Amino acid sequence: MNKFEVEEELKNVLYPNLNKDIVSLRTIKDIKVDGNSVTIEITITNESVFATIEEQIQQTLGISFDNVDVRFVASQQKKSINYGSTATPNNRAPYARHIIAVTSGKGGVGKSTVSVNLAVALAQMGYRVGLLDADVYGPNTPRMLQVQDEKLRWGDNNKIIPSENFGVKIMSVGLTTPKSDTPLVWRSSVAVSALIQFLEDVDWGELDFFVIDMPPGTGDIQLTMAQELPLAAGVIVTTPQMISVDDVSRAIMMFKDIGVNIGGLVENMSYFIAPDTGKEYAIFGEGGGEETAKKYDIPLLGKIPLMMDIREGSDNGMPPVALGSNEIKKYYKNIAEHLLIQLGLL
């Protein structure tokens, strides 16, 4: 069997979770045939799927060769080399009119919940909306939008087809893993490369709003998104407690330092409403969001209470802004409207 015949056989090897073979995906770097031995070099960005591909190749070629050696070669993606700067960012999403980055100083403050409901609220207003889950180590948006069981699909134009629900197009690393509990043990450079691929290789279509759910903190991904996209506004999410406010202050200053317009601050879990009496309790303290907004001279877009219905809706893939009570819907709709006012669109 020669090199070309080996390549034909490798067309039977499918990349995990994709309905495409490893040859058409151009993952084959080299094929070397030496008598009854063959060496295959493959280059992929997601090293976690290598073992699965290796097993398929060995089963496919083991019939014809006594020794099948499969080698992993780290992918060097040219697309992620020429970065822009925060002063003059690239535009890797020319299909989007307005790009909104939702971030927080720390995890656990409800940033993804705000991202999802903001995106759905904008879609309900008639806008074309895309949502990119850039929180690669904690991708929660697929569950919140009831697409967690979907996997990547490729269109005829060789671009990834985003999932879609509640009028929002969705892409997340959570849709690429073999299992829901598969950890993404990636260095930041690999995570950044994956996100750039989601910007450029997904068939987003024309979008009025592109909402990006950032990871918490002030790291590589936040900086790269500011370098690679002309962000229309940043939305900062915090809770009232001082620990959260301390961290969110750093996120605010990061956006200010790199010249990103801050559309406003959202205070999540602002207070708890007792379901039996309707009385409000400031479980996480009070006034943190308002004081922070005044301190840094940014708008307070709204306050969202701590409610079981919001938590249950998010866990069950039923966004509160779409399927919650009228009382709950108004919290997110008001935030969306106030953001549009800040952008000069209302």
Task: Work out the average pLDDT over 320-339.
Answer: 96
Q: Is residue 87 part of a domain?
A: no
Q: Is residue 247 part of a domain?
A: yes
Would you state the pLDDT for residue 19?
67
Q: Domain with 56 in it: what CATH number?
A: 3.30.300.130
Would you state the pLDDT for residue 288?
87
Task: Work out the average pLDDT over 140-145.
Answer: 94
Pairing assessment for the beta strands 207-213 and 96-104 based on DSSP bridges: parallel
Backbone CA torsion sign across 162, 167, 168, 170: negative
Q: Is residue 129 part of a domain?
A: yes
Does 223 share its domain with 111?
yes
- In which element (H, E) is residue 257 found? helix 242-257
Does 60 share its domain with 134?
no
Would you state the pLDDT for residue 82?
63
Instruction: Say if residue 48's pLDDT is above 80.
Output: no
For residues 190 and 4, what is the distance between their CA atoms, to the nearest angstrom? 31
For residues 294 and 288, what is the distance between their CA atoms, to the nearest angstrom? 10
Residue type, 120: V
Would you state the pLDDT for residue 79?
47
Mean pLDDT for the chain overall? 89
Does 203 share its domain with 316?
yes
Does 144 share its domain with 279?
yes
Counting Cα atoms < 13 Å in the Cβ hemisphere of 237 gives: 28
Residue bearing tokens 């929660």? 140
**Of the candidates 48, 76, 104, which is a domain's last residue?**
76
Q: Is residue 40 part of a domain?
A: yes
Would you state the pLDDT for residue 321?
96
Does 235 share its domain with 173?
yes
For residues 191 and 219, what is the distance between their CA atoms, to the nearest angstrom? 12
Does 109 share its domain with 64?
no
Does 69 share its domain with 108?
no
For residues 142 and 164, what is the distance between their CA atoms, to the nearest angstrom? 10
Instruction: Say if residue 185's pLDDT is above 90.
Output: no
The helix, strand and coil proportions of the chain, stated in percent and rounded to the nearest 5, come to 35, 25, 40
Does 21 share its domain with 120?
no
The tens digit of pLDDT for each residue in 187-209 reads 878 888 889 989 999 999 999 99
3-state secondary structure of 218: coil
Q: Is residue 281 part of a domain?
A: yes
Number of domains in the chain: 2
Does 54 share its domain with 171?
no
Would you state the pLDDT for residue 99?
97
Would you state the pLDDT for residue 230?
93
For residues 329 and 263, what is the distance between their CA atoms, to the nearest angstrom? 20
Q: Is residue 329 part of a domain?
A: yes
Does 211 share its domain with 318?
yes
Would you state the pLDDT for residue 300?
96
Instruction: Say if residue 43's pLDDT is above 60.
Output: yes
Please name the residues in contact with 214: beta carbons below 8 A apart, sequence gap of 6 or more.
101, 102, 103, 104, 111, 134, 135, 221, 222, 225
Would you state the pLDDT for residue 163?
96
The tens digit of pLDDT for each residue in 279-314 reads 889 888 888 889 999 999 999 999 999 998 999 999
Does 312 share its domain with 178?
yes
Does 205 share its domain with 265?
yes
The b/e string for 149-180 (b: 16+ C-beta within 10 A; e otherwise) is: ebebebeeeeebbbbebbbbbbbbbbbbbeee
Would you state the pLDDT for residue 83?
67
Give the helix ranges, DSSP H, for 94-241. 111-124, 141-144, 188-200, 220-228
User: Which stretch, 104-118, 120-134, 208-222, 239-253, has highest mean pLDDT?
Assistant: 120-134
Task: Work out the average pLDDT over 36-52.
Answer: 85
Q: Domain with 184 in it: what CATH number?
A: 3.40.50.300
Band (134; pLDDT cuts 50, 70, 90): very high
**Of the candidates 43, 76, 109, which is a domain's last residue?**
76
Bridge partner list, 102: 213, 235
For residues 299 and 154, what is the distance between their CA atoms, to the nearest angstrom? 41
Domain containing 218 equals 96-342
For the entire predicted model, the pTM comes to 0.77
**Of the candidates 25, 41, 76, which is a domain's last residue?**
76
Q: Is residue 314 part of a domain?
A: yes
The tens digit of pLDDT for each residue in 50-86 reads 888 999 999 999 999 999 999 988 655 444 446 677 7
Q: Is residue 36 part of a domain?
A: yes
